[in-house]
């Protein structure tokens, strides 16, 4: 692909995130890599910020991750400081290698030069040794040269639009999540009400945060109300405010959360718990932009608020039963996002677990431990009724309990070690057949093996089949079973570009 084609692609990027995504997609495609990161220098943070990071086909956005020169700087900072490319063929023996999330063995990194000065770094990596060559370095250098002016523009734009609260997200977790991301991309800029549905712990609050910070209201206030955590008698006052003397104890005039959210977004968590007597006032606020403080005789106040709601209840069924206003339900559900449970994308548990271990280690100022194979096996076998929130809490617990540089199985919470208990009807729970359990344990390992094998073979299925000792037909069947597709190179089917 010629540089002019690259420029056409990058000119088409709608924003900085799309630009960075496109650059990393090109870097991975041209080097047949599965992991890669884009770093840009941030003067205020005095370090390199990972602006786009792809791990095993997942896009991991962690904006507070900064690489600084204190301690062991790592390969990316070495490249920036020396303004030279770097080829690492065996990371464990490389003096500049520092581990981040998953262990890798091969790394190719080049500086992004603008007016001869390095403003960032592009890296690709692999879990296999000696994967990259000088040819890959040259390929990345050509890409860096063609993209430098675009990235410099994005760097300056980010600096001028600095704002706190940019959410931490992991993209491309499953086909269901791809649909959620597609809907967010279309709906976030519109200002339309959005209803987020999903089980407890699926990340509804994070999605609401992401919608706000990717909308035209991102510089406005973001206010959250948990409808289940506030007594019914107080909820109206909190949402709409009250005037002094409106009720016993109202010794001052209170501004409601709707007024505080004016010009921004109001997130109503657990909206299914909203008392029906308040639902008419919420509908009026959404449809007409008017709120009436409790006890006020004045004309209604005008507010401009974008409403995002979340629930784990079936509002449609509640509307049929008369416990939730059907007109409010239809107004709130202009756009509905159904968040998938963790069990629907357990193939990505390893990456998710390592991300949360990294977060917890930074929070508690601990050396980032590895997750042992035994602990990972327990994690894969667990059902996670609390979904992503439970996984995150479990990894935090494990980091606290870890005594060395590795998380062992006994560092996981007690629920990961519990044997099945009797149910309320005194019948034993179903443990599952040996075949079902074997699938739970072996699926992620087989997927990892196939991914590494195809990476070694540059996407050549026949060569991979020969190495694995199976025929090509069987290899294709295994790839389909484990959600891997073959184009120019192997990519997980849920990968985002």
Give per-residue pLDDT as tens, 138-171.
999 999 998 888 888 766 655 545 544 444 557 7
The pLDDT, as a whole number, for residue 319 is: 93
Lowest mean pLDDT among 115-124, 158-167, 328-337: 158-167
- pLDDT level of residue 38 (50, 70, 90 thresholds): very high
Burial of 486 by CB count in 10 Å (0-12 exposed, 13-18 middle, 19+ buried)? middle
Mean pLDDT of all residues belonging to the chain = 83
**Is the pLDDT at 425 greater than 50, yes or no?**
no
Q: How confident is the model at residue 419 (pLDDT cuts 50, 70, 90)?
A: low
Spatial separation of the C-alpha atoms in residues 149 and 186, rounded to whole Å: 28
CATH fold for domain 434-492 = Arc Repressor Mutant, subunit A (1.10.10)
Choose which CATH entry (3.30.930.10, 1.20.58.60, 1.10.8.60, 3.10.20.30) describes domain 342-416: 1.10.8.60
**Which has more confidence, 18 or 424?**
18
Write down the pLDDT at residue 79. Answer: 95
**Over the stretch 441-450, which tens digit does the pLDDT of each residue have?**
677 777 778 8
The per-residue pLDDT for 3 is 46
Query: Tokens 């206010």, residue?
Result: 223
Domain range summary for the chain, segments of one domain joined by +: 3-160, 186-338, 342-416, 434-492
pLDDT band at 494 (very low <50, low <70, confident <90, very high): very low
Q: Residue 430: pLDDT above 60?
A: no
Its pTM stands at 0.68
Q: Where residue 429 falls among pLDDT bands split at 50, 70, 90?
A: very low
Q: Nearest CA to 191 among 212, 210, 208, 209?
A: 212
The alpha carbon torsion through 168, 174, 179, 184 (nearest 10 deg) reads 0
Range 330-360 burial, b when 16+ CB lie within 10 A, else e? ebbbebbbebbbbeebbbbbbbbbbbbbbbb
Residue 321 CB neighbour total at 10 angstroms: 9
Give tens-digit pLDDT for 251-290.
788 889 999 999 999 999 999 999 998 999 999 999 999 9
Name the percent of the chain in helix, strand, coil, to the closest 5. 45, 20, 35
Q: Which residues pair with 484 in a beta bridge?
A: 492
DSSP element (H, E) containing 291? strand 290-291
Residue 497: the pLDDT is: 37
pLDDT of residue 201: 92
pLDDT tier for residue 434 given thresholds of 50, 70 and 90: low
Indicate the fold that domain 3-160 takes in CATH: Beta-Lactamase (3.30.450)
Range of lowest pLDDT (66-75, 200-209, 336-345)? 66-75
CATH of the domain spanning 186-338, picked from 3.40.630.40, 3.30.465.10, 2.40.40.20, 3.40.50.300: 3.40.50.300
Average pLDDT estimate for 76-82: 94
- The answer to whether the beta carbons of residues 265 and 277 sit under 8 Å apart is no
At residue 437, the pLDDT reads 61
H or E segment and range at residue 451: helix 434-456
Measure the CA–CA gap between 224 and 241, rounded to whole angstroms: 15
- pLDDT (0 to 100) of residue 64: 63
What is the pLDDT, as a whole number, of residue 136?
95
Q: What's the rounded Cα separation, in Å, for the pair 206 and 322?
A: 30
Query: Is pLDDT larger for residue 69 or for residue 383?
Result: 383
DSSP state of 348: G
Strand 241-242, strand 169-171: pairing:
unpaired
């Amino acid at each position: 692909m010629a540089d002019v084609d690259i420029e056409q692609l990058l000119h088409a990027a709608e924003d900085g995130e799309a630009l960075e995504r496109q650059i990393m997609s090109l870097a991975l495609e041209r080097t047949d890599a599965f992991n890669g990161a884009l770093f840009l220098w941030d003067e205020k943070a005095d370090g390199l910020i990972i602006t786009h990071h792809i791990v095993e086909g997942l896009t991991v956005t962690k904006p507070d991750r900064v690489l600084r020169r204190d301690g062991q700087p790592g390969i990316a900072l070495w490249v920036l400081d020396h303004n030279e490319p770097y080829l690492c063929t065996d990371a464990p023996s490389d003096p500049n290698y520092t581990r981040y999330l998953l262990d890798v063995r091969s790394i190719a990194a080049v500086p992004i030069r603008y007016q001869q000065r390095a403003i960032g770094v592009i890296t690709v990596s692999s879990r296999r040794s000696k994967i990259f060559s000088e040819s890959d370095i040259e390929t990345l250098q050509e890409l860096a040269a063609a993209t430098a002016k675009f990235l410099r523009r994005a760097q300056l734009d980010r600096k001028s639009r600095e704002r706190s609260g940019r959410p931490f997200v992991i993209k491309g977790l499953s086909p269901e999540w791809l649909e959620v991301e597609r809907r967010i991309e279309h709906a976030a800029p519109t200002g339309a009400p959005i209803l987020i549905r999903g089980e407890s712990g699926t990340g509804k609050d994070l999605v609401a945060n992401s919608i706000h910070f990717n909308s035209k209201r991102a510089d406005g206030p973001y206010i959250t109300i948990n409808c289940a955590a506030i007594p019914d008698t107080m909820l109206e006052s909190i949402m709409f405010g009250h005037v002094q003397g409106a009720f016993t104890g109202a010794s001052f005039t209170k501004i409601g959360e709707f007024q505080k959210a004016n010009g921004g977004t109001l997130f109503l968590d657990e909206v299914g718990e909203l008392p029906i007597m308040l639902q008419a006032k919420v509908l009026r606020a959404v449809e007409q932009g008017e709120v009436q403080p409790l006890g006020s005789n004045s004309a209604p106040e005008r507010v401009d608020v974008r409403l995002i709601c979340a629930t784990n209840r079936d509002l449609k069924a509640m509307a049929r039963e008369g416990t939730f206003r059907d007109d409010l339900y239809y107004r709130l559900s202009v756009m509905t996002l159904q968040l998938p449970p963790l069990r629907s994308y357990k193939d990505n548990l390893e990456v998710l677990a390592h991300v949360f271990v990294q977060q917890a280690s930074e929070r508690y100022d601990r050396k980032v431990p590895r997750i042992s194979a035994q602990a990972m096996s327990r994690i894969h076998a667990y059902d996670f009724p609390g979904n992503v929130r439970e996984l995150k809490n479990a990894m935090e617990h494990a980091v606290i309990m870890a005594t060395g540089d590795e998380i062992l199985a006994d560092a996981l919470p007690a629920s990961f070690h519990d044997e099945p208990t009797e149910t309320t009807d005194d019948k034993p729970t179903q443990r599952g057949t040996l075949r079902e359990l074997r699938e739970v344990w072996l699926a992620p390992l087989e997927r990892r093996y196939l991914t590494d094998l195809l990476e070694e073979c540059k996407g050549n299925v026949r060569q991979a089949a020969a190495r694995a000792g199976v025929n090509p037909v069987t290899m294709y069947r295994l790839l389909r079973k484990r959600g891997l597709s073959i184009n120019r190179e192997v990519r997980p089917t849920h990968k985002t570009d």
